[in-house]
């Protein structure tokens, strides 16, 4: 009979184990998310990350070994970013109907998100790679990871900051917008999508169909704008 | 489905090649996204055909962040040092951006929609 350690040696050298583990952990997270009635606080990505991270730490597995398996999932981020063109195109008619408010809200929302995050981080002592990782935090993860890499941030750190931003945005958007007395569903959805990407968009869809559609547009447009704006603002200040 | 996946991959490839060739400070897939929207505008039939494949890719979008997210195990020391700083930055910045964006939208909409009346 093969020793257990031999099996482990085989498994830990092949991509299959960590690829399977990634899908299983995400399925578990997604199941909990559905069970909770899709609460923004129960984020499937955060759950999967916590589970896999604990397993890596407990087994002393280096991240590079894990990534050899997980890279097949990670690779799909690029094609998924390009695929965002389909919902963006499908909503172009909506974009045309309120183009000017949208463009202004996009520029202000995107600029405030980058400048306030980087500004607060800087004031509290963050520098270099850590600070740059904050800049694209409002953008949908596949694009944010690409932006972080191109401006010299840490992509893995950005991925986690993006998820936290989405969860915070999804939880706070309704109370914040109510406190400001904003009743226009287009404005509420759009601003949420710009500041809190897909997680915020999912939240907007739960509240109101129009808000959800505008949130999706806001997310898509901000992915493109931040890719231009973040490097420019970083170059301006540093 | 395969030709549509090929189209998406080719636009990513085009984006990657162009951003490198032109030294653009932009992720290749984002340029691919913009170019593919342009193609859809020029040929609406293509958009119709690609949509199911694109939506299939997007329906499991959050799964795709997991591998990068797990990379946080390499940043545990960073988080124990700077966790509260990151948390404060995100907790202040996110509602600020939502409020600023929504107020701008409402303000501009009021101006333009009144002008149209």
Asked whether the beta carbons of residue A79 and residue B8 sit closer than 8 angstroms, the reply is: yes
Which chain A residues are closer than 8 Å to B26 by Cβ?
150, 227-228, 231
- Residues B55 and B9 reside in one and the same domain: yes
Paired tokens of B103: 């107020």
pLDDT confidence band for B93 (50 / 70 / 90): very high
Are B60 and B81 members of one domain? no
Count of alpha carbons within 13 angstroms of residue A198, beta-carbon side: 22
- CB of A223 closer than 8 Å to CB of A87: no
**Considering only CB atoms, which chain B residues are within 8 Å of A73?**
63-64, 66-67
Interface of A with B in 71-100 (CB under 8 A): 71, 73-74, 76-90, 92, 98, 100
Nearest CA-CA partner of A199 in A212, A183, A184, A181: A212
- Report how many helices (DSSP H) and strands (DSSP E) chain B contains, helices first: 5, 0
Rounded Cα distance between A42 and A182, Å, is 27
Distance of CA A80 to the CA centre of its chain: 13
How far CA B116 is from CA of A89, A175, A186, B109, B110, in Å, comes to 26, 32, 18, 10, 10
ipTM value: 0.87
Q: Do residues B50 and B30 both lie within one domain?
A: yes
pLDDT at B104 > cutoff 60:
yes
Residues B115 and B78 in one domain: yes
Is residue B83 located within the same domain as residue B43?
no
- Token pair 């183009």 is found at A99
CA A15, A17, A22, A27 dihedral sign is positive
pLDDT of residue A93: 77
Q: Which of A119-123, A173-177, A199-203, A234-238 has the lowest mean pLDDT?
A: A234-238
User: Using an 8 Å Cβ cutoff, are A234 and A218 in contact?
Assistant: no
Q: Are residues B20 and B54 in the same domain?
A: yes
Give me the domain span that covers residue B1: 1-65
The pLDDT mean for chain A works out to 90
Domain count, chain B: 2
Of the candidates B29, B72, B88, which has its C-beta nearest A53's C-beta? B72
Whether chain B has a CB inside 8 Å of the CB on A188: the answer is yes
Asked if the C-beta of A109 comes within 8 angstroms of chain B's C-beta atoms, the answer is: yes
Q: What is the structure's pLDDT at A140?
A: 87
d(CA A30, CA B43): 37
Cβ within 8 Å of residue A205, ≥6 positions away: A211, A212, A215
Minimum mean pLDDT range among A46-60, A61-75, A76-90, B93-107: A76-90
Question: Is there a contact between A224 and B33 if contact means CB atoms under 8 Å apart?
Answer: yes
Q: How far apart are CA A164 and CA A195, in angstroms?
A: 12
Q: Which two tokens stand for residue A88?
A: 């963006």
Q: In the structure encoding, which two tokens stand for residue B14, read together?
A: 């085009």
Q: Write the pLDDT tens digit of every residue in A167-223.
A: 899 989 999 999 999 999 999 999 999 999 988 988 888 888 889 889 988 998 999
Kindly list the domain boundaries of chain A, sorted by start residue. Answer: 4-75, 84-237
Of B65, B88, B106, which residue sits at a domain end?
Answer: B65
């Amino acid at each position: 009979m093969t020793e257990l350690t031999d099996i482990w040696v085989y498994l830990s050298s092949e991509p299959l184990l960590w690829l399977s583990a990634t899908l299983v952990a995400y399925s578990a997270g997604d199941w909990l998310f559905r069970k909770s009635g899709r609460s923004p606080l129960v984020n499937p990505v955060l759950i999967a990350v916590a589970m896999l991270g604990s397993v890596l730490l407990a087994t002393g597995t280096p991240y590079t070994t894990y990534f050899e398996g997980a890279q097949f999932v990670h690779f799909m981020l690029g094609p998924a970013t390009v695929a965002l063109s389909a919902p963006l195109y499908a909503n172009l008619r909506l974009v045309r109907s309120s183009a000017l408010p949208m463009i202004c809200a996009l520029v202000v929302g995107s600029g405030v998100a980058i400048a306030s995050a980087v500004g607060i981080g800087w004031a509290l002592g963050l520098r270099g790679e850590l600070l740059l990782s904050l800049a694209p935090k409002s953008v949908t993860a596949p694009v944010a990871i690409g932006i972080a890499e191109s401006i010299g941030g840490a992509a893995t750190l950005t991925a986690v900051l993006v998820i936290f931003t989405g969860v915070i945005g999804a939880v706070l958007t309704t109370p914040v917008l109510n406190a400001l007395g904003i009743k226009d569903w287009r404005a509420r959805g759009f601003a949420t999508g710009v500041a809190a990407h897909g997680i915020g968009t999912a939240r907007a869809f739960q509240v109101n169909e129009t808000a959800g559609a505008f949130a999706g547009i806001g997310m898509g447009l901000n992915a493109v704008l931040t890719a231009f704006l973040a490097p420019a603002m970083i170059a301006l200040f540093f | 489905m395969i030709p549509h996946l090929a189209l998406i991959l080719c636009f990513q490839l085009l984006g990657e090649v162009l951003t490198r060739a032109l030294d653009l400070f932009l992720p290749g897939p984002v340029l691919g996204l913009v170019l593919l929207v342009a193609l859809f505008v020029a040929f609406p039939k293509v958009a119709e055909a690609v949509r199911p494949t694109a939506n299939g890719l997007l329906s499991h979008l959050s799964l795709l962040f997991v591998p990068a997210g797990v990379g946080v195990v390499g940043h545990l020391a960073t988080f124990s040092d700077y966790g509260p700083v990151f948390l404060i930055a995100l907790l202040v910045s996110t509602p600020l951006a939502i409020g600023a964006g929504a107020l701008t939208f409402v303000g501009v909409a009021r101006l333009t929609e009144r002008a149209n009346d």
